[in-house]
Amino acid sequence: MDALKVLVARRAPAAVLDKLKARFDVDYHDGEAPLPPESLRERLQGKAGAYITGTERITAELLAACADLRAVCTMSVGYNHIDLDACTARGVLVTNTPDVLTETTADLGFALLMATARRMGEGERLLREGRWKSWAWDFLAGADVHGTTLGILGMGRIGQALARRGRFGFGMRIAYHNRSRLPADVEAELGAHYLGKDELLSQADHLVLVLPYTPESHHCIGAAELALMKPTATLVNIARGGIVDEDALAAALRDGRIAAAGLDVFEGEPRINPALLTLPNTVLTPHIGSATMPTRLAMAHLAADNLVAALTGAPPPTPLNPQVLPA
């Protein structure tokens, strides 16, 4: 019997590619940039499975044009780029890569919080540009992190990992808002206080966004929400760029309505809203939340393991729509 055909839609680690080649007839796009939608559609013809990353969009139209597709395995925890309902309706299994990136992404979130609160980006730019000439009592004086209130919007796995860092590492008060409240024992362990969204915005000294990107969370931080925040507050986004109205954020940062923002994700990434680039009080990183070698390897292997399982009749480790699997 001929091997099933799969598409690996983006550069992947050699060991992961070998794992897939041992089982399947692999069409490999060895590139750092995503395939344009038209090429993705063409190269998915006749493919039973797709190994993708967080950028390739899997739409209902694409699925309709790819009748052989049975599994879409993304090397990301976020899956807003995939029309999950359309996949489920067509019986296409979708998998993602939760858990393996939780701690690494929380580390980056905390690093961004620290760098932003303590004005490290501004300091580094000033030093490298030869502008460090003198000392003043308020020279690059930022905000404290220890002992302050950490607000977390979206209290899933990564939110809880941030809460542990804040509480146990920095003695912070932990406040959160989430679609559903955590069980009482988990709240107690994290010392986490559940607040309404507006209360969270007004009480947080540092607010980290770590909620999923959905039609409901699109621009859920805009001018009205930013107006509720303290003028001394820091905003950190490690979720998805589209959660924040970037024009409203740039205006709030420019007018001192909040103190600073640390952003790892952007609405039009890799294009960046120019207003954010010129503000001194932003720390900007290029979507590197999960970017450590061990974590990226674990994510890539998990995506490949899901694909192998999905197409060989074994239970996939991390399915998003297990209802499409045979009973």
Please state the closest distance from residue 189 (CB atom) to ligand 8YV, in A.
25
Of residues 200 and 239, the one with the C-beta less far from ligand 8YV: 239
Find the distance separating the first CA and the last CA of the chain, reported in whole Å: 25
Amino acid present at 167: R
In the block, tokens 């993602």 appear at: 96
- In the bound state, the residue with its beta carbon closest to ligand 8YV is 54
d(CA 136, CA 134): 7
Q: Note whether 203 binds ligand 8YV by CB under 6 A.
A: no
- Give the interface segment with ligand 8YV, choosing from 13-21, 70-78, 182-190, 314-322 (CB under 6 A): 70-78
Pairing mode, strands 192-194 and 173-177: parallel
Instruction: Quickly tell me which residue has 């952003």 as its tokens.
Output: 263
User: Residue 58 gets which letter from DSSP?
Assistant: B
| Min separation Cβ 74 and ligand 8YV, Å | 7
Quote the CA–CA distance of 144 and 99 in Å, as a whole number. Answer: 30
Respond yes or no: is residue 301 known to be catalytic.
no
CA angle, residues 234, 235, 238, in degrees to nearest 5: 140
Pick one of 41, 46, 57, 78: the residue that binds ligand 8YV (CB under 6 A): 78
For 147, list phi and psi in degrees, rounded to 5: 75, 5
Span near ligand 8YV by CB under 6 A; candidates 63-71, 75-83, 277-285, 319-327: 75-83
181 tagged catalytic = no
Length of the chain, in residues: 327
Check binding of 241 to ligand 8YV (CB under 6 A).
no
In the block, which residue shows the tokens 């074994």? 314
Active-site annotation holder among 240, 246, 257, 267: 240
HSE-CB for 30 with a 13 A CA cutoff: 5
- Least Å distance, CB 302 to ligand 8YV, is 11
- Residues 258-317 close enough to bind ligand 8YV by CB under 6 A: 289-290
Is residue 250 a contact point for ligand 8YV (CB under 6 A)? no
Diameter over CA atoms, the chain: 75
Report the residue number, 149 or 237, with the smaller CB distance to ligand 8YV: 237
What character string, x for contact with ligand 8YV (CB under 6 A) and - otherwise, covers 25-64?
Answer: ----------------------------xx----------
Q: What is the DSSP letter of 260?
A: E
Residue 287 bears catalytic tag = yes
Mapped onto helix, strand or coil, the DSSP state of residue 1 is coil
Lookup: tokens for 83: 């029309």
**Cα of 6 vs its chain's centroid, Å:** 26
Binding mask 88-127 for ligand 8YV (x = CB under 6 A): -------------x--------------------------
Q: Which residues are catalytic?
A: 240, 269, 287
Residues that bind ligand 8YV (CB under 6 A): 53-54, 75-78, 101, 289-290
